[in-house]
Amino acid sequence: MEPKSTGREQKVLEKLNAVARFCDRRIGWNRIGFFLSVTIIAIAGVALYRILRNIEFREVVEALVMTNPRHIALAALFVAAGYFTLTFYDLFALRTIGRLDVPYRIAALAGFTSYSVGHNVGASVITGGAVRYRVYSAWGLTAIDVAKICFVAGLTFWLGNATVLGLGIAYEPLAASAINRLPAWFNRGAAVAVLIVLALYVVWVWRRPRIVGRSGWSVTLPGGPLTLLQIGIGIVDLGCCALAMYMLVPDEPNIGFVTVAVIFVAATLLGFASHAPGGLGVFDAAMLVALWQFDKEDLLAGLLLFRLLYYIIPFALSLAILGIRELVLGMRGAARPPVVKVPSIAPTDIVTASDAPAGKTEVR
């Protein structure tokens, strides 16, 4: 038998549930997200205008032409490795919800296409979820199953980001200061706090099965060892992407990889939070502001190449793959999946396995 939760732990869970319900019912997650998106886009727009108004675009073209082909090839290789790692987000999520029958090739198809489409179109939870549903419905997965996959994959993404930023900022706090303009000591303290929270989370899920859910659906969070695997997947993914960017920044002045990686991950998260397609404008503004040491024209050329390799080419490949797949399914006369409402994947209930309501289905 699983031991009952301690009184203190239960009080903490009740407070978290109360905060989540308050935000969901009184304020609304959509309103909070919209306000944050507009704020980030507005700030990035002003910063980008101030930077680009003095840019010599002729020099940008020259920098593009002069970029070392070997660096471009290495960047492309790291981008490919990053997308390969992304496929394991879906495979891990499928195994977490108990769908062992779905093979890796299907997880890879759904993972690659959903992320490349979501990265470019924006609102990746909705667009990526729609692509996933189209792929997975052929294997009998429901909209609820897809919502669970999106939740677990998102958890992997955020655990990886928190770990990379926590370790990176703790080691190189000035890299974060280049973006948020806060003192190095504050950034280092915040990074250490994030790492402590991560460690506590790992311990929390290691002790006994933990279930999150809302509105009749629930997911059992991965246990301690699997959470460490989640973090590892996220670290490899972000490391590959950061290496791709590192290959495309100017050679001079020489800035360490950790600094570029921290700035890159932070800029990517700002772009993600803005919900702008591909983080357009937001990601670029953050990189140009934070990496002020580089010549702006040279750095802008590197950012354009990165967009080509990480966004445009995978997006075109995904559209081609999905288009061919639809043609094949049409020729076979495969039925289209029914259109159903996908539930929100923001949990408002956090419980332990022993406290799970009888009406909820536990997914291991």
pLDDT digits (tens, 9 = 90+) for 59-86: 888 888 888 999 999 999 999 999 999 9
Q: What is the mean pLDDT of residues 269-292?
A: 80
Q: What is the pLDDT of residue 364?
A: 38
The widest CA-to-CA distance across the chain, in whole angstroms, is 70
Smallest CA-to-CA distance from 73 within 312, 305, 237 is with 305
Q: What is the pLDDT of residue 218?
A: 81
Where are the chain's structural domains? 7-355
Banded model confidence at residue 35, pLDDT cuts 50, 70, 90:
low
pTM exceeds 0.85: no
Contact at 8 Å (CB) between 283 and 268? Answer: yes
Instruction: Please state, in angstroms and as integers, the Cα–Cα distance from residue 264 to each residue in 161, 232, 303, following that order.
Output: 11, 18, 11
1 pLDDT exceeds 50?
no
List CB contacts of 91: < 8 A, sequence separation 6 or more: 104, 107, 108, 111
- Averaged pLDDT of the chain: 80
- Residue 220 DSSP code: E
